A = this chain, B = another copy of it.
Amino acid sequence: MQKLGAEHSAIREIFEQANARALQIGRENVFDFSLGNPNVPAPDCVQEELKRLVSEMPPERLHGYSSAAGLPEVRERVADYLRGTFGANARAELIYMTCGASSSLTATFGGILNRGEEVLVLAPYFPEYRVFISQAGGLMKPVRTDENFHIDAQAVEAAITPKTRAIVVNSPNNPSGAVYGAAELQALCKVLSRKSAEYGARIFLIADEPYRELTYGADVPYLMNFYADTVVCYSFSKSLSLAGERIGFAAVNADMEGAKDVFAAISGAARAAGYVCAPTLFQRVCAHSLGKTGELSVYGGNRTLLYGALADMGYACNKPEGAFYLFVKSPEPSAAAFCARAKKYGLFFVPSDSFGVEGYARISYCVKREMIERSLPAFRALAEEYGLVK
């Protein structure tokens, strides 16, 4: 734990380096593309509901405990929304309000894993999965994706053993920007069903969906509709730009056999980790703002600008289908060397190694457009150093 607490994550490390560099050469000469902190304001409906609740609701009710799983009316509204929007078999009694997607994930891993069981993750993947899965006594097992970072069902099948208890599907994907389509998800679920039957043991599908609303045209199929043993881990961090307020939910598919028991196990794990309830003010605010988002089109504009410019300069980029990350191929074998070289030009982004693939960098474009514009000469100079520019 001491090691875990003393180390920054690779992402946070780059962020700290960018800050340190800004003190040396001036903030205006540093282009920090490290973090996934939304820079779009929360929508007006959030701010208005916050003001309304604080003005109108008696504070002892507004700020009092909710039951562990959340306020009943909030859970009802979330379930209604999931049924109405996605046709999912969501039920209020299977919605657990959480302190964001990370706590949805830790409660879910804690609830479903027995010691030594394996959880598959599709590479590239969010690095904290490893921490969360270990904490629950499990073992993270990365599975490669195809050359466009989409699901390779055969690779998944080959990775499944009798110890496989779950697979995490994160779409839109951090860091690749891939959004998995219906066909590849169907192929994946077919594999999961077949192998579950073969080994006589259930394999859960954990849909980690903080970026659900951040897409550029792609549809994000709702996985409850594809596979009974699905738990959806959602966060309002990105859709409503509330990353610091820690609010989300875990939703157990009502189609699941023994859904109530799985829900109880998730509740138990949340309880054991000290999550008494999700923050009550933001439970109410989010229930009021279901289906709303901040001005996410800002990210679309950033994507067009950054992808277009970098592709023109000769960088090989994976065009993001969702989320707000550009995954760029390193012009030299080592992504770490690429990122180190970029720092000379004031460019700070994260090598892909910590995401479980080699030879790429994650450029987070949830930043001011103006910073992207100012950064382009630096990207060009870096491209010239590599001889990419034609």
Interface string of A248-263 (1 = CB under 8 A from B): 0000000000000111
Please tell me if the beta carbons of B274 and A105 are within 8 angstroms of each other in the complex.
yes
Binds B, one of A165-173, A211-219, A236-244, A377-385: A236-244
Please tell me if the beta carbons of A41 and B65 are within 8 angstroms of each other in the complex.
no
Check: A346 CB closer than 8 A to any chain B CB.
Answer: no
Complex Cα–Cα for A203 and B127 (A): 34
Q: Which residues of B contact A135 (CB under 8 A)?
A: 272-273
Check: A339 CB closer than 8 A to any chain B CB.
Answer: no
Binds B, one of A55-63, A77-85, A187-195: A55-63
Interface string of A13-40 (1 = CB under 8 A from B): 0000000000000000000000101111
Q: Which residues of B contact A55 (CB under 8 A)?
A: 51
Q: How large is the interface on A (under 10, 10 to 19, 20 to 34, 35 or more residues)?
A: 35 or more
Closest CB in chain B relative to A317 CB, distance in Å:
26
Complex Cα–Cα for A60 and B39 (A): 6
Complex Cα–Cα for A39 and B63 (A): 10
Please tell me if the beta carbons of B54 and A50 are within 8 angstroms of each other in the complex.
yes
Please tell me if the beta carbons of B277 and A244 are within 8 angstroms of each other in the complex.
yes
Q: Which residues of B contact A183 (CB under 8 A)?
A: none
Binds B, one of A2-10, A146-154, A303-311, A355-363: A2-10
Q: Which residues of B contact A38 (CB under 8 A)?
A: 60, 64
Q: A3-B268, A265-B5 are in contact. Are A40 and B54 (CB under 8 A)?
A: no
Please tell me if the beta carbons of A2 and B99 are within 8 angstroms of each other in the complex.
no
Please tell me if the beta carbons of B63 and A281 are within 8 angstroms of each other in the complex.
no
Q: A6-B264, A241-B59, A274-B99 are in contact. Are A269 and B1 (CB under 8 A)?
A: yes
Q: Which residues of B contact A60 (CB under 8 A)?
A: 38-42, 241
Q: How many copies does the complex hold?
A: 2
Please tell me if the beta carbons of A244 and B54 are within 8 angstroms of each other in the complex.
no
Q: Which residues of B contact A132 (CB under 8 A)?
A: 272, 274
Binds B, one of A106-114, A223-231, A318-326, A329-337: A106-114
Q: Which residues of B contact A174 (CB under 8 A)?
A: none
Complex Cα–Cα for A47 and B55 (A): 8
Please tell me if the beta carbons of A65 and B274 are within 8 angstroms of each other in the complex.
no
Please tell me if the beta carbons of A276 and B246 are within 8 angstroms of each other in the complex.
yes
Q: Which residues of B contact A46 (CB under 8 A)?
A: 59
Complex Cα–Cα for A2 and B244 (A): 30
Check: A338 CB closer than 8 A to any chain B CB.
Answer: no
Please tell me if the beta carbons of A111 and B2 are within 8 angstroms of each other in the complex.
yes
Please tell me if the beta carbons of B37 and A58 are within 8 angstroms of each other in the complex.
no
Q: Which residues of B contact A243 (CB under 8 A)?
A: 63-65
Closest CB in chain B relative to A269 CB, distance in Å:
5
Q: Which residues of B contact A246 (CB under 8 A)?
A: 99, 246, 275-279
Check: A234 CB closer than 8 A to any chain B CB.
Answer: no
Check: A155 CB closer than 8 A to any chain B CB.
Answer: no
Closest CB in chain B relative to A42 CB, distance in Å:
4
Please tell me if the beta carbons of B99 and A5 are within 8 angstroms of each other in the complex.
no
Q: Which residues of B contact A89 (CB under 8 A)?
A: none
From the candidates B244, B264, B277, name the one contacting A66 in the complex (CB within 8 A).
Answer: B244
Q: Which residues of B contact A40 (CB under 8 A)?
A: 60
Closest CB in chain B relative to A152 CB, distance in Å:
29
Please tell me if the beta carbons of B244 and A4 are within 8 angstroms of each other in the complex.
no
Q: Which residue of B lies closest to A261 (CB)?
A: B2
Check: A164 CB closer than 8 A to any chain B CB.
Answer: no
Which residues of A are interface residues toward B (Cβ below 8 A)? 1-6, 12, 35, 37-42, 46-47, 50-51, 54-55, 58-60, 62-67, 99-100, 102-107, 110-111, 128, 131-132, 134-135, 241-246, 261-282
